[in-house]
Amino acid sequence: MSTSTFPRDFVWGVSTSAFQVEGATSADGRRPSIWDTFSADRAEACDHYHRYPEDVRLMKDLGMAAYRFSVSWARVLPEGHGKPNAAGLDFYDRLLDELVAAGITPYATLYHWDLPQALEDRGGWPERETALRFADYAAAVHERLGDRVDTWFTLNEPWVAAFLGYGSGVHAPGRKSAADAFRAAHHMLLAHGLGAQALRAAGAAKVGAVLNLSPVMTPAQVSDFGRELSEEDAEAVARIDALANRQFLEPMLRGAYPAESLAVAERNGGVEHIRDGDLELIAQPLDVLGVNYYTPLVVQAQPSEPADPAYPGSTGILFCTIPTAVTAMGWPIVPGGLSLLLRRISREYPDLDLMVTENGADFVDVVTGDGIHDVDRISFIEEHLRALRAAIEEGARVRGYFVWTLLDNLEWSEGYRRKFGLVHVDFATQRRRPKDSALWYRDVIRRGGLAETRPARPTLETVAARAGVSRATVSRVVNGESSVSAQVRESVMRAVNELGYVPNLAARSLVTRRTNAVALVLSVPRQGGDALTAAVVQYVTSLLEGAGKQITLMLADTAESHRRIVAHVEAGLVDGVVLLPPDRADTLAERLSRTGVPVVLLGKPAIASLVPYVDVDNAGGAAAATEHLLARGRTTIGMVCGPMDLVAVQDRLAGHRAALQRAGLGPRLALADGLTRAAGVSATLRLLGDEPALDAVFAATDQLAIGALWAAREAGRRVPEDLAVVGFDDVDAASATTPGLTTVRVPVADQALALARLLLSRLEGRHTTSVVVPARLVVRESA
C-alpha cells in the first residue's frame, strides 16, 4: 500500500441529519421536535424531503459509496411513542430505494438530537421513560427499513445533546441544569443499549453509535503532542477527557463510568438515576464506533476559573484559544489531532472497528460565475485525510470516512449562515451547485486515496508568465479594474482558465503590494485594557508573523505621533494596520481609513461603519447579566453607568435596558463620573438613597462593581442576601473580592485572534465584516 492510497474496501461517503436537511416539518403527520420549538430559524432547510432524488443523483455523480443520514423520530412517531406514522416511514422507504438503485450504501442514525417535543413535555432525556421509548422507536424503524440498512447507529453525539441541550442551554431544549445534563447523558447511553438490543433482536447486521471525540491537550501540546505536563495541567487534561470522552466511551465499551465523571455527577444532583444493571445494558457489543472529529479541546489549569456550564466540574480549568489557523466557526484546525485520537482508541480498544463519521469545516464561500472555489475546505479535508491515512498505517482500525456534510444546511442554533457543505444551496431557490471541494472529493474517491504528491497550485506569477504581463496587471484583471484593455484582459483570463488559477491573497488585493509589513498601533490608555493590550500584542504578532508578516509597533500617544503614523502608512511602508484606538473618540482611525490601506480596529468606533472592527458583544453580555438577576427573583435592579461617552458603556446600557423591557421593567440609573472604584461607591450610594428597595446592582465595569460592593458594606447591606452585584470585564480582581464578583467575561484572546484574522482576510482581498465576539457570564457568590 503506498502512502497515498486507502484499503481497497475503505468506505467513502457523506453525512447529513434529518432536521438540518429535510424541511417539511409539518408534512405527512410529522409533529414538532425540540429543535422546531427551540430554533429561531424556519426549518425548510434544504427541502431534502421533496428533493431527495436530486440529492441522491448528486451523490451518485460524485461517486459516493455511502450515505449516512438520520431518521426523524418526530416523523416516525409524532408523539414519541405509539403507532408508527406510515406516511413518515414512507419517505425513508423511498429514500432507501433511491439509494439502493444508485448503488449507494445507506447508513442510518436513529437519533441526531431531534427528540419529539411531546417526549420533552413529559420530561425529556432526564427521564428514564425516554430511553424506553427509544427502544420502541428503534424496533419500529427496523421493522420497516431493516431489509435495506446494513449498519445502524443508535445515537449521534450524546455529549452535545446532553450537555449543550440540558447543561449550558445553547442547544435544544435549552435547559440549564448540570443535574439534568448528567441524567440526560445516562439515559441516552441507556437508550443506546436498549436500542442496540432491539435492533439485534430484529436481525440488524451491524450496530454502532457515534461519539464526538476530541484529544484534550494544553496549548503547548498542540505543536508538540508529546510535551510533558505539570501535575496541575495533567489533572486538568484528565478531568476534561473524563467529562468529554471517557464518560461515553467507557460505559459503552467497558461497562463502567470513569471515577472522575461519577464524582462530578454525584456533586451535581447525585447518581440515583444509575440503577443496577444499567451499565450491563449500555455495554452492548459494538460492530463499529463512529468518530466525529473537528478540533481538539485545549485546556490548562487556572485556579480562579469558574466551571464552564457545558462541562460541569471544570472549576479551575481554562478553555484556551490558540494562535493557529481556524475555520469560520473559530475552531482551531489541528489535523494531527485526528491521528492522535484514532491511534488512542485503537490502542485502548484493539478489537473495535472505527469509522470517521463526521469531519468537515465551515468556511466563507464566495459564489462566482465560474463556480465556488473553496480552496480552504479542500485543504482542510486533504490534511485530515493524510492524518487519517497515517493513523491507519500505524494500526488504527478505520474502515471509512464520511465528510460533514453533503449540503449547506440549517446549522442548528447557528442558522443558515454556516457553510459546511460540499454542495452549495441557494435557500431562496433550493438550487444545488457542487463546490470545487465536491469535485476534488469525487477524484479522491475514484483514486481510492490522495495523490502521492500535491499538485502545485498555480500562482500569480505563473499566470503572469503565461499571459506575458506583470503580476499587477493580473491582479487588476482579477479585481475587475476597467483600466486594463480588452485584449490584455482576454489574454489574462485565458491563462487563468488554462491553469485553473483561483484568485487568492496575492491577486485579490495586491495590485500595488510593496511590503510584507503590518503596523500595530497602540493608543493609550485603554479602559481596563492591560490584559487586552497584552493579548493583542501576543496573538496578533504570533499570527501575523506566522503568515510571513513583519510587525512594526507604533505608539499613538500624541498629535505628532499620529502625524508620523499616517505619513508612514501613506508612504506605502506597511500593507495593513491593526489599531487599538483610545476609548474616547479621536481622528486617527478616520485619517488612516482614507489612506486606502486595510485597517482593522479593536473596539467598536463611534461611527461603526468607518472601518471593520472587532469587539465583544457588550449589549448581549449586559442582557445576560440582567437576565441572570431577573431569573433569581431580583426585581428592583439599578445600573451604575458611565462614563457615557464610551461606546462600550452605551452598548452595555442598551443591553441592560432591553432585558428589563422584555421583563416589563424600567431602568434605574446612576451615572458614574469615571471608571474608578470610588466612582462606583458614589454612584451606588446615590442609587441606594433614591431606591431603598433596591435588590441588585449591575455595574458597567468591574471597577465600578467593586465600588458597589464597598458601598453596600458602607450602607449596611449584605451581598448577596440583601443586594446582588454584577460587573462586566472579569478583571483579575473580580475573583478575589469578598464575596467573589459575578461578572461578564470579555474574551481577550478571542478578540486578539479575531483582529489578526480580520486583517489577514482584508489583505487577501476577501469580503470582510466586523466581528463581535460573544461574552460569557461568570457566576460567583455576589449574585
Residues with a catalytic annotation lie at 157, 358
Q: C-alpha distances in angstroms, 127 versus 185, 209, 628?
A: 11, 21, 26
407 DSSP assignment: B
C-alpha distance from residue 71 to each of 88, 108, 355, 540 (Å): 10, 7, 19, 45
Nearest CA-CA partner of 743 in 165, 304, 240? 304
Cβ contact 599:592 at 8 Å: yes
Helix, strand, coil tally for the chain in percent (to 5)? 45, 15, 40
Q: Would you say the C-alpha torsion 299, 300, 302, 303 has a positive or negative sign?
A: positive
Task: Classify each residue of 594-612 as buried b or exposed e, where b means 16 or more C-beta atoms within 10 Å of its C-beta.
Answer: ebebbbbbbbbbeeeeebb
DSSP 17-37: -HHHH---TTGGG---BHHHH
Q: Nearest-CA neighbor of 570 among 550, 598, 595, 591?
A: 595
725 in Cβ contact with 637 (< 8 Å): no
Of 434, 436, 328, nearest in space to 382 by CA: 436
Tally of CA atoms within 13 A in the half-sphere of 623 that contains its CB: 13
The span from the CA of 683 to the CA of 686, in Å, is 5
Cell reading at 462: 505563473
CA distance 581 to 599: 12
What's at 634, amino acid-wise?
A: R
Which residues pair with residue 109 across a beta bridge?
70, 153
Q: Are 216 and 237 in contact (CB under 8 A)?
A: yes
Task: Report the candidate in 9, 103, 1, 57 with the shortest Cα–Cα distance to residue 450.
Answer: 1
Please say whether the beta carbons of 603 and 529 come within 8 A.
no
* Cβ-based neighbours of 732, under 8 Å, separated by 6 or more: 531
* 771 three-state secondary structure: strand
φ/ψ region of 480 (left if φ > 0, alpha if ψ in -120 to 50, else beta) reads: left
Return d(Cα 361, Cα 186) in angstroms, integer. Answer: 30
Question: Dihedral of the CA atoms 425, 427, 431, 435 (nearest 10)?
Answer: -20
Element (H, E) at 181: helix 178-201
In three-state secondary structure terms, 228 is coil
Question: 720 near 782, Cβ under 8 Å?
Answer: yes
Whether residue 173 is preceded by a cis peptide bond, meaning omega within 30 degrees of 0, is yes
Q: CB within 8 A of 358, min separation 6: which ones?
A: 15, 210, 212, 290, 292, 293, 294, 402, 404, 405
Residues 6+ apart with CB under 8 A from 283: 193, 251, 252, 253, 254, 255
C-alpha cell at 723: 443586594
* C-alpha cell recorded at residue 773: 465576539
Radius of gyration (C-alpha) of the chain in whole angstroms: 28
Cell 432585558 found at:
659
